[in-house]
Structure 1
Amino acid sequence: MSTSPPPLTLEADAVTRITRWVAVGALLALIALCLAWELWLAPTGRRTLVIKVLPLLLPLAGLLKHRLYTYRWVSLLVWLYCAEGLVRATSEPAPGATLAMIEIALCLVLFAACAVQVRWRLQRAKAAAALG
């Protein structure tokens, strides 16, 4: 009887690949939304809130390199942007409120993709360790 880890199935590859690209896409969309929001669509003050994009740039390389640790901390970081979106959706007039709702939706998609990615990869590692 062989004790090698289970072979990767097409389903496993598909889950990992899809959640990776959904996370990267949602992060890029969130970056683009924040830049457009603060620079052109509904700028506040002297457009200094555009610096809120900087923390979103940090995890991009880790997500593209498929680092599990990055997926974990992005799933926590994204809640700061979700909270900002909730506050601005309830306190700003249009178009700021609409942009805030889009921000909330992107945050939820990013969180879900990161959570599924982390959970799936940890389950597969646990299964491989149990067999190996």
Structure 2
Amino acid sequence: MAAEMAPRTRFFRIATQLGYWLLLALLIVWHGIMPETDESALPRYLSLILWVLPMLFPLLGLVKGKPYTHAWFNFILMFYFLHGLTTVYTHPDERLWSILEIVLTTIAFVGATGFARNRGRELGLGLKKQKDAK
């Protein structure tokens, strides 16, 4: 049976879940429901595929609470973080959406990092140290 989850680890898990689900909802609303402001924008279905599909890859591992999935989920989050930073600067009419994207991505990133680290230690996972070769 898996080790009991410490309160600190549970806090990071809740932060990850909160950031993940709110970011996923934001992306669906922003790229799927809100009216297009740019005439050169992608078709709505293609925009949804490009923005929402990557968020679905870690879904199962995040729901099950797997530390390894939480760790590599951060690589996906960096794509959204950089998008938010770029959009804040380049699209003033979408500034609120991009600030929300940055905030939610940061919450998910901190939560996933903390959960992966703490839960990995609780379960005895981690990188093995190489013995000194003498």
TM-score range, shorter chain: 0.7 to 0.9
Native 8 Å contact 2:67 2:120 kept in 1:
no
Matches within 5 A, 1:66-85: 66-85=65-84
Higher-helix-fraction structure: 1
- Where structure 2 has 5 or more consecutive residues not aligned to the other structure, the ranges are 126-134
Distance change in 2, residues 1:54/1:29 (3 Å):
same
TM-score, normalised to structure 2's length? 0.77
Matches within 5 A, 1:108-127: 108-124=106-122, 125=124
Residue 27 (structure 2) aligns with? 34
Within 2, Cα distance between the matches of 1:29 and 1:100? 13
Native 8 Å contact 1:24 1:60 kept in 2:
no
Within 2, Cα distance between the matches of 1:17 and 1:55? 25
Residue 107 (structure 1) aligns with? 105
Q: Which aligned runs of 4 or more in structure 1 are off by greater than 6 angstroms?
A: none
TM-score, normalised to structure 1's length? 0.78
Same amino acid, percent of matched pairs = 27
Question: Shift in Å at residue 31 of structure 1?
Answer: 0.8
- Where structure 1 has 5 or more consecutive residues not aligned to the other structure, the ranges are 1-6, 127-132
Within 2, Cα distance between the matches of 1:106 and 1:35? 14
Question: Shift in Å at residue 42 of structure 1?
Answer: 4.7
